[in-house]
């Protein structure tokens, strides 16, 4: 029996979200109690794999075949399911990000396992198995009972504290027999340069129609550059062509979970809030004191974003020069 955690890598490196997931899986395994095992797919150096040992992962299964170096949902699903079966895993844990949201439902069907996506903490109980997740765009919490013997959980980003718990790491190479022929071949990858990727960013600076026109976007870009942040926008801004569609955050756009999210001139429609509710801190600036965005904001300024932005930029520049 085991708790299996799928540890995604980016160009052979793990990110903070991976260690958050490792900490969560380690604590979950302790409570069941069970052993915790990490699965890595793609080429990751041994030194990088051993970093998982800082967060309680004592056993790592590594699948390094070059055919699997880029994500293929069908193939990865078969690999994860095969490893889970070999370990007799009772719980499989993934990140609640784009890849996790693609893999988890497929795993649920293949493994005949109950699935709860976007859980925000450890199970409330194990008999019955009850987990908690956000609902109604983060305005409420739901208790979900999983009745199946096997369970799939995806952990919402920034919802669990990274805890160091150093253990020695055993790394085992694994060659899956169920992957079959890889039908998707990635010949070339084009990477965005010069800008922080929105879904990976710790800080996001976002603007809405309160910015009044695309010509007023300069301060948004400047603030993002100063903070090393990504830029984003609300759906109306994207629909009107002010900003590229890939910057659109919300229920029908990118779902993000930065540490800090700035919302300038965004009213806070429920569809937008659905995409940012997992942010650790939200700072909102809006001329309307009754704007819905203030209901979810940790800090709010009632004022014109075009006046607040220059003042904020100057204050940050001054603080950095000290």
Asked if residue 16 lies in contact with residue 162, where contact means CB atoms within 8 angstroms, the answer is yes
What pLDDT score does 137 carry?
Answer: 66
For the stretch 107-121, pLDDT in tens is 999 999 999 999 989
Number of H helices, E strands in the chain: 9, 15
Find the range with the poorest average confidence among 66-70, 141-145, 213-217, 281-285.
66-70
The partner residues of 263 in beta bridges, in order of sequence, read 206, 284
What pLDDT score does 150 carry?
Answer: 97
Task: Kindly state the average pLDDT of the residues 26-55.
Answer: 94
> What predicted TM-score, i.e. pTM, was given to this entire model?
0.77
For the stretch 224-248, pLDDT in tens is 999 999 999 999 999 999 999 989 9
Hey, what are 42's tokens? 């793609």
**95 upstream amide cis, omega within 30 of 0:** no
What pLDDT score does 140 carry?
Answer: 81
Task: Kindly state the average pLDDT of the residues 78-96.
Answer: 95
What pLDDT score does 135 carry?
Answer: 82
Domains (range + CATH), the chain: 2-173 (3.40.50.620), 198-321 (3.40.50.1220)
User: Which residues have a Cβ under 8 Å from the Cβ of 8 and sit 6 or more positions away?
Assistant: 14, 18, 95, 97, 99, 100
What pLDDT score does 187 carry?
Answer: 72
Q: Which of 207, 267, 250, 266 is nearest to 231 (CA)?
A: 207
What pLDDT score does 178 carry?
Answer: 64
| 3-state SS class at 59 | strand
What pLDDT score does 138 carry?
Answer: 67
Task: Kindly state the average pLDDT of the residues 67-85.
Answer: 89
For the stretch 150-166, pLDDT in tens is 999 999 887 888 889 99
For the stretch 174-215, pLDDT in tens is 988 766 666 677 777 766 666 788 888 899 999 999 999 999
The residue assigned the tokens 């955690």 is: 5
For the chain, the maximum distance between any two Cα atoms, rounded to a whole number of angstroms, is 61
The C-alpha atoms of residue 230 and residue 220 are separated, in whole angstroms, by: 10
User: What percentage of the chain has pLDDT greater than the value 70?
Assistant: 95
What pLDDT score does 322 carry?
Answer: 64
Asked if residue 62 lies in contact with residue 172, where contact means CB atoms within 8 angstroms, the answer is yes
């Amino acid at each position: 029996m085991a708790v299996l955690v799928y540890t995604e890598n980016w160009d052979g490196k793990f990110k903070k979200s991976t260690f958050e997931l490792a900490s969560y899986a380690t604590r979950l395994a302790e409570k069941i109690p069970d052993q915790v095992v990490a699965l890595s797919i793609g080429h990751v150096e041994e030194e990088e794999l051993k970093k998982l040992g800082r967060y309680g992962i004592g056993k790592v299964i590594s699948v390094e075949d070059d055919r699997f170096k880029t994500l293929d949902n069908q193939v990865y699903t078969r690999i994860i399911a095969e490893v889970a079966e070999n370990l007799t895993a009772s719980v499989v844990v993934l990140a609640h990000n784009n890849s996790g949201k693609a893999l988890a439902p497929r795993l649920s069907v293949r493994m005949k396992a109950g699935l709860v996506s976007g859980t925000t903490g450890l199970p409330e109980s194990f008999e019955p198995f009850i987990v908690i997740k956000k609902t109604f765009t983060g305005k409420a919490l739901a208790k979900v009972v999983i009745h199946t013997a096997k369970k799939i959980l995806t952990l919402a980003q920034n919802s669990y504290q990274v805890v160091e718990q150093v253990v020695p790491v055993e790394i085992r190479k694994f060659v899956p027999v169920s992957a079959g022929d890889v039908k998707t071949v990635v010949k070339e990858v084009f990477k965005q340069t010069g800008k922080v990727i929105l879904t990976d960013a710790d800080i996001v600076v976002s603007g809405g129609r309160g910015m009044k026109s695309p010509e007023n976007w300069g301060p948004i870009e400047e603030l993002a550059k100063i903070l090393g942040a990504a830029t984003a926008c609300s759906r109306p801004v994207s629909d009107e062509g002010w900003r590229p569609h890939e910057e659109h955050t919300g229920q029908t756009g990118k779902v993000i979970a930065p540490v800090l999210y700035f919302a300038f001139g965004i009213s806070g429609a429920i569809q937008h809030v659905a995409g940012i509710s997992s942010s650790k801190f939200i700072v909102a600036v809006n001329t309307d004191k009754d704007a819905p965005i203030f209901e979810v904001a940790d800090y709010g300024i009632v004022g014109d974003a075009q006046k607040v932005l220059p003042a904020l930029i100057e204050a940050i520049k001054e603080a950095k020069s000290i």
